[in-house]
């Protein structure tokens, strides 16, 4: 008889809640642990106190995994990957789903990414790299605009400035390289051509050799309806966006994903985990804007709602080289739409600790399993009630026979939920 497996999910946002609950509803018998988790995850997994809010304490996570004989650790956010959590776990013989630090540089360093893409002739925006502010300023004084200025390192999604005018590009270079708004992340910058087209998130799971695409999704980064306002971590998403069989997806797989995985292997980097391509569909075909080395948030919520295959089997197969050869995935043909409910003021400052009502009613607006409220910035209050604890608070996700039905259902569920200052976009998955 197969014994129950133990899985540790690292992180505590909406993406991790989706991973936790998809593991729990899969065919494998599994006990799920989550560090640090959040108010909603605590109800479906054993929350692990790692003594801090951020999941960056690799030593504590490794000793927990060893002590509890965890069979597989799944890493949600990029920060621990960039810090080398996978290297640390593998050195101890602990199985982990996520790339080593050398592979996480695809996300952790925009300069590394662009140099890698250039070396491998993978389609991307034309670029220049600068490590001196004077040189970067001279360049943006004369280069064509719009132009995109990117801090090299991780900057919580805020280190990319699409400058419509020259003045903005100059201010961006000054903020990143002179004022050091993002600290060391701004020691170097990429200045690149601004591409036009529509954006799509294409996520593949890879064992370092074979890869398997997940259904596509689109996310909404700007804070307000119509794409207005500052960029956020993502205000909503839906899946599918393009069908996996479409020529654009096939082109992206052949010209971008496959050469990336092969290039990493050639350069001695065993990349096991999720390779998430942020693509721009340009008139010259798909080009890569950025790679993330983990599941997307909030794309994971609608994508995993539609996954028909046992998630643990997929992650375990990917965690060993060659494990994905001949692996296939089944998908729910329905659409899924995720609407993010944010704290008033997000992505700026906001209040925390506000009581949330209507969570159960929201999941009851449709048949069981059709609506799921994924928690992101939530915590358990003093009486065990759920309160807000972050900028993006909930991801209300619904399935429907069509995108329109899924969208209507998601917003019906949203209407049941309340907390002081609650805000969401009203145009997620609306056909323009
Ligand atoms: P990144 O973190 O590199 O994905 O950048 C964040 C967002 O900035 C992307 O989702 C795009 O909307 C935009 N962006 C980044 N690079 C470019 C580019 N070269 N051309 C146009 N938009 C871009
Ligand atoms: N949705 C964008 C990200 O996960 O980075």
In whole angstroms, what is the distance from residue 161 CA to residue 219 CA?
18
* Position 384 in a domain: yes
Q: What is the pLDDT of residue 56?
A: 74
Full residue range of the structural domain in which residue 233 is found: 198-318
How far is ligand 1, taken at its centre, from the CA of residue 72, in Å? 33
- Burial (CB count within 10 angstroms: exposed 0-12, middle 13-18, buried 19+), residue 181: middle
278 lines ligand 1 (CB under 6 A): yes
Looking at the structure, do residues 58 and 18 belong to the same domain, yes or no?
A: yes
199 CB within 6 A, ligand 1: yes
Q: Do residues 277 and 253 make contact, with C-beta atoms less than 8 angstroms apart? A: no
Residue 425 domain flag: no
Statement: residue 9 has pLDDT above 90 = yes
Residue range 174-227, pLDDT digits in tens = 999 999 999 999 999 999 999 999 889 899 999 999 999 999 999 999 999 999
Tell whether 328 is covered by a domain. Answer: no
Which among 299, 300, 425 is the best mutation to test ligand 2's pocket, defined by most ligand atoms within 8 Å of the CB?
299
Mean pLDDT of 234-246: 94
**Segment 37-55, tens digit of pLDDT:** 999 999 999 988 877 666 6
Question: Which distant-in-sequence residues (6+ apart) come within 8 Å of 287 by Cβ?
Answer: 123, 124, 125, 195, 256, 279, 280
**Mean pLDDT across the stretch 391-414?**
98
Instruction: Give the per-residue pLDDT at 155.
Output: 86
CA of 392 to the centre of ligand 2 (A): 13
Average pLDDT over residues 247-260: 97
The total number of structural domains that make up the chain: 4
Check whether residue 217 and residue 303 sit in a common domain. Answer: yes
CATH code where residue 214 lies: 3.30.470.20
Tell me, yes or no, whether 264 lies in a domain.
yes
Residues 18 and 78 in one domain: yes
- Predicted confidence (pLDDT) per residue in 52-96, tens digit: 666 678 999 999 999 999 999 999 999 999 999 999 999 999 999
Q: What is the pTM of this model?
A: 0.95
Ligand positioned closest to the Cα atom of 114 = 1
Handedness of CA 35, 233, 337, 223 (dihedral sign): positive
CATH number at residue 160: 3.30.1490.20
Whose atoms come closest to the Cα of 76: which ligand? 2
Q: Is the pLDDT of residue 338 over 80?
A: yes
Q: Does 190 contact ligand 1 (Cβ within 6 A)?
A: no
pLDDT for the residue numbered 1:
54
Q: Is residue 431 part of a domain?
A: no
Domain final position from 173, 193, 213? 193
Share of the chain above pLDDT 90, in %: 89
Q: For the domain that residue 398 is a member of, what is the CATH number?
A: 3.90.600.10
Q: Which residue, among 212, 250, 201, has the nearest Cα to 15 in the 3D structure? A: 201
At residue 432, the pLDDT reads 61
147 lines ligand 1 (CB under 6 A): no
Q: Which of 427, 235, 415, 231 is nearest to 341 (CA)?
A: 235
> What CA dihedral angle connects 20, 21, 26 and 32, to 10 degrees?
40
- Residues lining ligand 2, judged by CB closer than 6 Å? 219, 234, 292, 296-297, 299
Measured in Å, residue 383 CA sits from the centre of ligand 2 at: 33
Judge if the beta carbon of residue 149 lies within 6 A of ligand 1.
Answer: no
Query: What's the CA-to-centroid distance between 286 and ligand 1, angstroms?
Result: 13
What is the three-state SS of 162-193? EECCHHHHHHHHHHHHHCCCCHHHHCCEEEEE
Give the atom of ligand 2 at the shortest distance from the alpha carbon of 234.
1
| C-alpha 413 to ligand 1 mean position (Å) | 31
Is 424 domain-assigned?
Answer: no
Q: Residue 28 domain-assigned?
A: yes
Q: How many alpha carbons fall within 13 Å on the CB side of residue 112?
A: 18
The string of pLDDT tens digits covering residues 162-186 is 999 999 999 999 999 999 999 999 9
Residue at 404 is within a domain = yes
Dist. CA 27 → ligand 1 center (Å): 38
**Ligand found nearest the CA of 219:** 2
Q: Is 290 in the pocket of ligand 1 (CB under 6 A)?
A: yes
- 296 Cα to the center of ligand 2, angstroms: 4
Distance CA 33, CA 346 (A): 29
CA of 90 to the centre of ligand 1 (A): 33
């Amino acid at each position: 008889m197969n014994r129950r497996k133990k899985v540790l999910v690292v992180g505590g946002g909406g993406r991790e809640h989706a991973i936790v609950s998809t593991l729990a509803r899969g065919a494998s018998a599994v006990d799920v642990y989550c560090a640090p988790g959040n108010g909603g995850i605590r109800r479906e997994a054993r929350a692990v106190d790692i003594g801090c809010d951020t999941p960056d304490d690799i030593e504590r996570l490794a000793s927990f995994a060893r002590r509890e004989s965890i069979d597989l650790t799944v890493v949600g956010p990029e920060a621990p990957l960039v810090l080398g959590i996978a290297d640390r776990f593998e050195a101890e013989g602990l199985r982990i789903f996520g790339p080593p630090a050398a592979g996480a540089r695809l996300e952790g360093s925009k300069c590394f990414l662009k140099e890698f893409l250039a070396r491998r002739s993978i389609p991307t925006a034309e670029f220049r790299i600068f490590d001196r502010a004077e040189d970067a300023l001279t360049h943006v004084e004369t280069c064509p605009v719009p132009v995109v200025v990117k801090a090299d390192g991780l900057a919580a999604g805020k280190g990319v400035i699409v400058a419509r005018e020259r003045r903005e590009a100059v201010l961006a270079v000054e903020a990143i390289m002179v004022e050091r708004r993002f600290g060391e992340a701004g020691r170097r910058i990429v200045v690149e051509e601004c591409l036009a087209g529509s954006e799509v998130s294409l996520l593949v799971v890879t064992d370092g050799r074979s890869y398997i695409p997940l259904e596509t999704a689109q996310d909404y980064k700007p804070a307000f309806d119509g794409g207005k306002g500052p960029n956020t971590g993502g205000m909503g998403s839906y899946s599918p966006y393009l069908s996996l069989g479409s020529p654009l997806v096939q082109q992206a797989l052949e010209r971008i994903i496959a050469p990336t995985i092969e290039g990493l292997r050639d350069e001695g980097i065993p990349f096991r985990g999720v390779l998430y391509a942020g693509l721009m569909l340009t008139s010259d075909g798909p080009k890569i804007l950025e790679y993330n080395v983990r599941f997307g948030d909030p794309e994971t919520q609608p994508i995993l709602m539609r996954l028909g295959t046992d998630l643990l089997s997929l992650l375990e197969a990917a965690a060993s080289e060659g494990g994905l050869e001949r692996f296939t995935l089944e998908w729910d043909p329905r659409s899924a739409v995720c609407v993010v409910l944010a704290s008033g003021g997000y992505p700026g400052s906001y209040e925390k600790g506000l009581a949330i009502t209507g969570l159960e009613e929201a999941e009851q607006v449709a048949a069981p399993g059709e609506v799921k409220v994924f928690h992101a910035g939530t915590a358990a209050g003093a009486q065990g009630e759920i309160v807000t604890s972050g900028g993006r608070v909930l991801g209300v996700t619904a399935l429907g026979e069509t995108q329109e039905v899924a969208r209507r259902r998601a917003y019906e569920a949203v209407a049941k939920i309340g907390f002081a200052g609650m805000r969401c976009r009203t145009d997620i998955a609306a056909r323009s």
